């Protein structure tokens, strides 16, 4: 009888923080076809859980994610192979449920704990998170054009917005690999920490976010996302509509009471 296969995406919730770990360390967490569905499912599960206020995405072992599994693809069984072995093809690929689309749509704040290398698809996943904290050994590798493809998972949308057109063009067209120090200089990560402190620093930031009113944090994220494609007058109108239910929430009343009483608020997401 064969041993049960370990999940390729681990899900753990500790308090208000859910951690999703890409779990193929022997392949540097290269993305398999099965991982795509599982990652999307776990992101939706965490986002729908009212107890979860922050989602952390990281990788097992010495790397974050080496991109799509090219070994499987070249054998005709993986993503993009178009073969009959379970790989996603243009005919059956549903991008609405693909991890980059789901990651962009969730209202729960997301933090990428960038351990080691993130190449190709892995780089796009990291950029799709709201916040990135990098270990000193972390790298972002825009290896797409070196493999005959383009950033297929959000990179062409995300990178110009993060660093500007000229810098994004240089990174993508050259297929360049950026060490953690350069990622920090370009604003692609919020901070760089010693590898051994990455988990601790990420947890501390997640707890700081989780201590705030979750409805207000999620509404802020929704409005930031909408603001990327709206004109200012329409955006202000939408912000006001988001504000009305917050004024009626128990968390708003608690926040005001805590301020007047000079104490830390205790928010419950209602």
Q: Which two tokens stand for residue 260?
A: 């007047």
Exposed / middle / buried, residue 248 (Cβ in 10 Å: 0-12, 13-18, 19+) = exposed
Architecture of domain 9-210: Alpha-Beta Complex (3.90)
Find the mean pLDDT for residues 57-76.
81
Question: Exposure pattern of 98-128 as b/e (b: 16+ CB <10 Å)?
Answer: bbbebbeebbbbbbbbbbbbbbbbbbbbbbb
pLDDT at 21 over 60: yes
Find the mean pLDDT for residues 228-232.
94
**Lowest-pLDDT range, 84-88, 154-158, 216-220, 224-228?**
84-88
The model carries a pTM of 0.90
The confidence band for 264, taking pLDDT boundaries of 50, 70 and 90, is: very high
At residue 1, the pLDDT reads 47
At residue 153, the pLDDT reads 87
Find, among 115, 111, 116, the residue nearest to 132 by Cα. Answer: 111
Find, among 63, 96, 68, the residue nearest to 80 by Cα. Answer: 68
**Lowest-pLDDT range, 57-61, 80-84, 136-140, 230-234?**
80-84
The confidence band for 115, taking pLDDT boundaries of 50, 70 and 90, is: very high
- Between residues 2 and 136, which one has the greater pLDDT? 136
């Amino acid at each position: 009888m064969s041993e049960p296969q370990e999940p390729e995406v681990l899900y753990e919730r500790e308090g208000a923080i859910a951690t999703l770990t890409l779990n193929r360390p022997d392949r540097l967490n290269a993305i398999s076809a099965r991982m795509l569905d599982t990652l999307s499912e776990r992101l939706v599960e965490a986002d729908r859980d009212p107890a979860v206020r922050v989602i952390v995405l990281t990788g097992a072992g010495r790397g974050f994610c080496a991109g799509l599994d090219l070994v499987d693809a070249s054998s005709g069984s993986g993503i993009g192979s178009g073969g009959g072995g379970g790989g996603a093809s243009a005919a059956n690929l549903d991008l609405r449920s693909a991890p980059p689309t789901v990651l962009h749509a969730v209202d729960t704040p997301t933090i990428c704990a960038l351990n080691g290398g993130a190449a190709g698809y892995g780089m796009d996943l990291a950029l799709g998170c709201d916040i990135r904290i990098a270990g000193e050994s972390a790298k972002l590798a825009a290896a797409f054009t070196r493999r005959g493809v383009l950033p297929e998972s959000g990179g062409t949308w995300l990178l110009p917005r993060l660093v500007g057109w000229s810098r994004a063009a240089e990174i993508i067209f050259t297929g360049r690999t950026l060490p953690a120090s350069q990622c920090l200089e370009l604003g692609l990560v919020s901070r760089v920490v010693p590898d051994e402190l990455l988990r601790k620093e990420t947890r501390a930031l997640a707890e700081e976010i989780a201590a705030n009113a979750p409805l207000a944090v999620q509404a802020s994220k929704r409005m930031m996302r909408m603001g990327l494609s709206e004109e200012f007058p329409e955006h202000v109108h939408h912000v006001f509509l988001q504000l009305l239910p917050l004024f009626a929430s128990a968390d708003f009343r608690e926040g005001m009471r805590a301020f007047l009483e000079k104490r830390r608020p205790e928010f419950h997401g209602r």
